[in-house]
Amino acid sequence: MTVNILVQSSYILAAVLFILAIKWMNAPTSARRGVLAGELGMLLAVVGTLIRHEVVDYQWIFIAFFLGSAIGVPLAYLMPMTAVPQRTALSHAFGALAAALIGTAEYYQHTPHGFTMVALVIEVLLGFLTFTGSLMAFGKLQEILPQRPIVYRGQHVVNLSLLGLAVLIGLYLILHPEQTWLFPVFSGLALLFGVLLIIPIGGADMPTVIALLNSYAGLAASFMGFALDNYLLVIAGALDGSSGLILSIVMCKAMNRSFTNVLFGAFGQLQVKAGAAAERTYRSASPEEAASILDAARSVVIVPGYGMAVAQAQHKIRELYEMLTRRGVDVKFAIHPVAGRMPGHMNVLLAEADIPYDRLVEMDDINSEFAQTDVALIVGANDVTNPAARTDKTSPIYGMPILDVDRARTVMVIKRSMSPGFAGIDNPLYYMDKTLMLFGDAKVFVSAMVKEVQALAA
């Protein structure tokens, strides 16, 4: 009786901590507290589960614990910040695979009936399709797989047919759970559907896909809780699933896209003919010229993007920010909801470089200030600053909310080349009279600008 009270108490406290963790991670100032609350909640959940009488052999649990730690700790410390989206995709894959394998083991050990079998079928279906889908997302983000959509004629029909067949087999297993030979077929269809679901989606939509896969993994865990009669798993999985779904909705809204368009739109094909950009004229500038413009400015808005992440330029950006601030320049950072390759990517990078939280301004709040801004400095951001989203009805991103950098008095863009961005769409901003292209690695170019600003101040 005492053990049962202890277990239930640890579960209740863990559930409260999970809810607080999500609440606190809504703001940069409390995000660290949220992470610690989530970690403590998970520790209580694991301890509570281990002291239940259901554990058969602790030896394998500890072997798995040390093996997992040996892989996970180096992975967390050695993974560069640019690869956080890939690591997130792998986390979803492993979590979903764990849920699916536990469901498989539960099925073959106990052959459950009724509602438990319903929960188990949903758990395994979501778990296996999320596993392979997350691996495909990882491959696209890591550029192991083509970032462009991989499409073929009749693809949607094939995908929906596979899903429909898997659902029908799942329903049959619910009614006839003793037909164990069908379970591997059901699992195989779920695994295959996960692959075919993600490969037609372009790399530009991977941030939304990651959030959606996070939702699937959470739902798999929640149904695993029903199958195992574990209320904490139900709560934790529901929190994960609902937060992932809400985040997906926010991401779709930020791109003016629908779920169906993200999942079936094959967005991300190159939209400009080869050589078309070369026919248009643009102006470039050296670090010396860019530093002179910044030195004369009174207000600067820096727009970070994935190019900053790739170059690991956030620390040099901080140096530039501090130097300009000391000279009386008002410097802010404009954050687009889908900048980078996952939600909050830019916030994390800038926080790592100790940029003050109050200098990070969300898109809806900063857009009204661009018209009074002397310089908009774009560091590797392309699609989220593309004015075609406002003006070109034929553009795939038409209607997507963007940062209104083209309304600043001067626009400077740090970019390696004139190649299109992640979405494969040319950016007319680069050919405007007020725009200066600063070609080169972001870290190297910003470092050169810092030296030039220092020289001007001497």
Which has the closest alpha carbon to 124: 182, 172, 175, 183? 183
413 & 317 share domain: yes
pLDDT (0 to 100) of residue 347? 83
Two tokens, residue 181: 């030979």
Q: Of 240, 269, 298, which residue is a domain's last?
A: 269
Q: Any alpha helices (H) in 51-113, and if so which ranges?
A: 58-78, 84-110
**Is residue 75 in some structural domain?**
no
pLDDT (0 to 100) of residue 395? 77
Dist CA 198 CA 200 (whole Å)? 6
Q: Of 244, 269, 294, which residue is a domain's last?
A: 269
Per the CB < 8 A criterion, the answer to whether 249 and 208 are in contact is no
317 & 447 share domain: yes
Does residue 358 have an active-site annotation?
no
206 & 336 share domain: no
DSSP β-bridge partners for residue 299: 330
Q: What is the largest CA-CA distance in the chain?
A: 82
Per residue of the chain (458 residues), what is the pLDDT tens digit? 577 888 888 899 999 999 999 889 877 778 889 999 999 999 999 888 888 766 667 788 889 889 988 988 888 888 777 777 788 888 889 999 999 999 999 999 888 888 999 999 999 999 999 999 999 988 888 878 887 778 888 888 888 899 999 999 999 999 999 999 999 999 999 999 999 988 888 766 777 788 888 888 999 999 999 988 888 889 999 998 888 888 888 777 776 666 666 665 554 454 444 444 446 788 999 999 999 999 899 999 999 988 888 888 999 999 999 999 998 999 999 998 877 777 777 888 888 888 988 899 989 899 999 999 999 999 988 888 999 888 887 777 778 888 999 999 999 999 988 776 665 678 899 999 999 999 999 999 999 999 998 888 76
List the domain range (segments joined by +) for residue 398. 277-457
342 & 201 share domain: no
**Is residue 332 in some structural domain?**
yes
**Is residue 395 in some structural domain?**
yes
Q: Of 10, 34, 69, which residue is a domain's last?
A: 69
Please count the structural domains in the chain.
3
179-223 confidence digits (pLDDT tens): 999 999 999 999 999 999 888 887 667 777 888 888 889 999 999
89 & 51 share domain: no
CATH code, domain with 399: 3.40.50.1220
372 & 444 share domain: yes
375 & 445 share domain: yes
284 & 404 share domain: yes
**Is residue 74 in some structural domain?**
no
Cα–Cα distance list, 212 to 56, 126, 216, 241 (Å)? 35, 12, 6, 9
**Is residue 288 in some structural domain?**
yes
211 & 92 share domain: yes
31-74 confidence digits (pLDDT tens): 889 999 999 999 999 888 888 766 667 788 889 889 988 988 88
**Is residue 417 in some structural domain?**
yes
205 & 257 share domain: yes
**Is residue 255 in some structural domain?**
yes
Q: Which of 240, 358, 374, 383 is catalytic?
A: 383
The pTM assigned to this predicted structure is: 0.79
